[in-house]
Amino acid sequence: MKKIYSLFAAVICISSLNAQTLTQANNAPIVGDVFQTVDCNSVGINPGGVGAGQTWNYSTMTILTNTVTNTGVTVASTGSASTYPSASVSIQSGTANAFYSSTASSLKYWGGDVKVGGQNVVMGYSAPAYYAAYSMSLGSSTNSAVSGTLTSVAGPGTFAGTNTVTGAGTGTLMLPGGYNFNAVLKVTTNTALSFTTGLGNGTYTQNKYDYYSSLSKYPLLTIKNETISSLAGTTTETVVTVNNNYKALGITESNISLTNVSVYPNPAKDNINLNFTNENAENASYQIINVIGQNVRLQNIPSTKGETTYNVNLNGIESGIYFIKLTVGNKSSVNKITVQ
């Protein structure tokens, strides 16, 4: 039986995108998700403006080599089911776990393994942080009072505070290599905690900025600014990561949007047709990309001058929602397709 993937809420067309809206279907982590993030040089990086019509230009940002694979796994498989009884999924990054649960109206964070001031800390939320109140779009916001226990090098302790998530901006995100994304939603998560341990009291704040596109379930870019104050002093840190699949999803500055593209039938079962015009018999290809940004197929299309109808065999493509990216010469288009 074919696996049914999560559905996206918006119909995608690169030349005319609606602003991204976060829902459980296109945002909440589920068991089986796999995506990669890559660390970036954080020097000089700031989260940019808020409101509609923004341009967030990170085209000159330096991408480093440290790549982390993040996998959605069952809570039972982490060995921490008794510690996080309300969680339904963990995003596992190496040996670290982050625990979540979701409904059609919310995404809750229950804690997990985090680094605070360079130290490993295990946090367990008894009152969870609401990371989203669906549906989220520009101007939507949710607040939650949080509390729980922690374990660190300072021993066991407790924490309490607030968590606020806001749809803060929409606009264009520019990433290195000239890859641009339209109709991006910027979501800010502001966390302010006070904690008590055997070595004294302290405070922790994190301001996180996630940039979402309808072309990827997980953020294209994340910027985190963290500050911890305790008896040991005050430490600040900025961490920047980029989605490792962004080049497969983006349209480059040198690419002009390919127009007059038809994709049919849609939904499709065994085959789907790409109808387009190749005016100069240029090199052509297509990519099929799943909802978490993974490239599941890349094939060339025979170059024929004029109108072309190319039949794509969907054998081996599981049921679900995908994006098909057609490239002809230096022009590209992306369309959403449903495989039954």
Report if residue 11 sits inside a domain.
Answer: no
93 in the same domain as 48? yes
Q: What is the 3-state secondary structure (H, E, C) of the chain?
A: CCCCCCCCCCCCECCCCCCCCECHHHHCCCCCCEEEEEEECCCCCCCCCCEEEEEEECCCCCEEEEEEEEEEECCHHHCCCCCCCCCCEEEEECCEEEEEEECCCEEEEEEEEEEECCEEEEEEEEEEEEEEECCECCCCEEEEEEEEEEEECCEEEEEEEEEEEEEEEEEEEEECCCEEEEEEEEEEEEEEEEEEECCEEEEEEEEEEEEECCCCCCCCEEEEEEEEEECCEEEEEEEEEEECCHHHHCEECCCEECCCCEEECCCECCEEEEEEEECCCCCEEEEEEECCCCEEEEEEECCCCEEEEEEEECCCCCCEEEEEEEEECCEEEEEEEEEC
Q: What would the pLDDT profile of 121-171 be if each residue is shown by its tens digit?
A: 999 999 999 999 999 999 999 999 999 999 988 889 999 999 999 999 999
Per the prediction, the chain carries an average pLDDT of 88
- The CATH number given to whatever domain includes residue 298 is 2.60.40.3080
Domain contains 19: no
- Any domain includes 86: yes
- Of the three residues 198, 228, 248, the one that is the final residue of a domain is 248
Are both 116 and 68 inside the same structural domain? yes
pLDDT band at 19 (very low <50, low <70, confident <90, very high): low
Residue 13 lies in a domain: no
Report pLDDT for 10.
Answer: 28
Q: Encode pLDDT of 1-10 as tens digits.
A: 233 222 222 2
β-strand pairing of 51-57 with 155-175: parallel
Question: Token pair for residue 91?
Answer: 């995003």
Question: Which residues, in sequence order, are CB contacts of 105 under 8 Å at separation 6+?
Answer: 24, 133, 134
* Residues 301-338 pLDDT 10s: 999 899 999 999 999 999 888 889 899 988 888 888 89
The more confidently predicted of residues 254 and 267 is 267
In a domain, 16, yes or no: no
Q: Do 52 and 172 fall into the same domain? A: yes
Q: Are 228 and 286 in a shared domain?
A: no
pLDDT of residue 332: 84
Give yes or no for residue 259 having a pLDDT over 50: yes
Residue 232: the pLDDT is 78
What whole-number distance in Å separates Cα of residue 136 and Cα of residue 149? 29
Q: Are residues 49 and 132 in the same domain?
A: yes
Which is more confident, 89 or 335?
Answer: 89
Confidence band (pLDDT; 50, 70, 90) for 175?
Answer: very high
Single residue among 200, 221, 248 that ends a domain in this structure: 248
End-of-domain residue from the set 223, 248, 273:
248
pTM of the entire predicted model = 0.78
* Shared-domain flag, residues 210 and 267: no
Q: Are residues 163 and 217 in the same domain?
A: yes
Residue 256's pLDDT band (cuts 50, 70, 90): low
Question: Is the torsion defined by CA of 295, 61, 12, 299 positive or negative?
Answer: negative
Domains: count for the chain: 2
Q: Which residues neighbour 76 within 8 Å (Cβ) at sequence distance 6 or greater?
A: none
User: C-alpha angle 263/264/269, rounded to 5°?
Assistant: 120
Residue 147 belongs to domain spanning: 24-248
**Segment among 17-21, 152-156, 220-224, 267-271 with least mean pLDDT:** 17-21
On whether residue 203 sits in a domain, the answer given is yes
Tell me the mean pLDDT in the region 282-305. 88
**How many angstroms separate the CA atoms of 55 and 323, rounded?**
24
Q: Are residues 115 and 141 in the same domain?
A: yes
136 and 280 co-located in one domain: no
Do 271 and 155 fall into the same domain? no
Residues 176, 204 share a domain: yes
pLDDT over 70, % of the chain: 92
> Considering only CA atoms, which of 295, 292, 289, 279 is closest in space to residue 330?
279
In this structure, of 15-19, 43-47, 294-298, the range with the lowest mean pLDDT score is 15-19
φ/ψ of 76, rounded to 5, equals: -60, -35
5 found inside a domain: no
Whether residues 154 and 295 fall in one domain:
no
Give the model's confidence band at 200: pLDDT under 50 very low, under 70 low, under 90 confident, else very high.
Answer: confident
Answer yes or no: are the C-beta atoms of 112 and 127 closer than 8 Å. Answer: no
Task: Establish if 17 belongs to a structural domain.
Answer: no
